[in-house]
Amino acid sequence: MVSKQLTKVPLKIEQIINFQQYPIADLSQQKSLDIIANCRQQLESRGCCVFKNFLTPQALFLAQQESFALENEAYYATRNTNIFKTDDDPTLPPEHPARFFMERTNGFVPLNKFHPQSLFLTLYRAKTFQNLIAACLASEPIYEYSDPLAGLVLNILRQDAQHPWHYDENDFSVVLMIQAASAGGIFEYAPHIRTLSSENYELVNQVLHGYYQDVEQNQLQPGDLQIFQGKLSLHRVTKVAGNQKRYTAIFSYTKENNAMATAKYSEALFGKAISPTARQTKILVDKEM
C-alpha cells in the first residue's frame, strides 16, 4: 500500500532546492560552473562531495514529516557481512579482511511506498537535480532506475543499528540527510584505500581494527546532500545511539538505461522482489545502499 502521507499540493523544485545558495537552474552560468568544478575537485581528491543546506527550510521540514509517515513501511533486516558482501572462505587465513564479519542492521522503505506527490519523488525525477548530479560526475546522461523498489529509498537507522565497513558495487551514491541520530550514525570513509591494481589488504585491516590514521568523517546535518564514489573508498555509518533515528533518502541513478536490482538484493533489503518476468528485459544490477 502506498503511503497516504502529505497529499497536499506538492512543492515545486524551486521550493525544494536551496537555489539561493546553489543557483543551478542554468548550469551554463558561472556560479553553477564554479559549484560543479568544486564538487569535481572534491570527488577527485576525496571521492566525496557535500552540498551543505541543499534543501530549503520548508522542504526539509516536509521531508522530515514525510519520513516519519513512511517509517512504518520500513523493512528491517539484520545480518553478518564482510566488506565484500561475500560468504566466509575457510581457505583464506584468519586475518584476511574477507573473514572479518560485522553486524549490519538497516531499515529500508522502497520506492513503491512513496506517494506520487512525494517531495522525494519530485526531487528524484527533477531534470534540474539529475543534471547537477551528472555534471558533477562528468557523466552524461544518467538514468533513473527502472526498478519499482530500489530507485529511491528511505533508509532508517534506529538505536544500535549500523552500516558496517563495506565497498559499493555501483559507481556512485547520492544521499540526502533528513534527520541525524541522537548520537552516532556518522559517515566515515577511507578515501581511495583500494586501487584498480591493489586491494591493499594491510591498510584495510588497519581500518577494520581501528588503527588507520586517514579515516575521514562527514557529520552530515539535516538538509545536506552527499555524492560519494564508494567503489574504491571503504566506508561505514557508525552505530546509532539514543531515541532519535537517523533518516536518509538514497537516490539511485545509473549510467545504463533500464537498470534493475537483482532479486537477491531486493529480498535482502526489502524482504521481497519483483517477478522474474519483469526482469527479463532489464539490466540487472547488484548494488549496495
CA distances from 18 to 11, 15, 55, 132 (A): 13, 7, 5, 13
Q: Number of H helices and number of E strands within the chain? A: 8, 17
**pLDDT at position 278 over 60:** no
Report the pLDDT value the prediction gives residue 25, as an integer from 0 to 100. 96
- What is the tens place of the pLDDT at every residue in 177-232? 999 999 999 999 999 999 999 999 999 999 999 999 999 999 999 999 999 999 99
Higher confidence at residue 268 or residue 257? Answer: 257
- What is the tens place of the pLDDT at every residue in 24-55? 999 999 999 999 999 999 999 999 999 999 99
Report the pLDDT value the prediction gives residue 226, as an integer from 0 to 100. 98
- What is the tens place of the pLDDT at every residue in 52-83? 999 999 999 999 999 999 999 999 999 999 99
Q: Are strands 283-285 and 259-261 parallel, antiparallel or unpaired?
A: parallel
**pLDDT at position 280 over 50:** no
C-alpha cell at 217: 568523517
In whole angstroms, what separates CA 210 from the centre of its chain? 24
Report the pLDDT value the prediction gives residue 47, as an integer from 0 to 100. 95
- What is the tens place of the pLDDT at every residue in 86-141? 999 999 999 999 999 999 999 999 999 999 999 999 999 999 999 999 999 998 78
* Averaged pLDDT score across all residues of the chain: 91
Residue bearing cell 545504463: 256
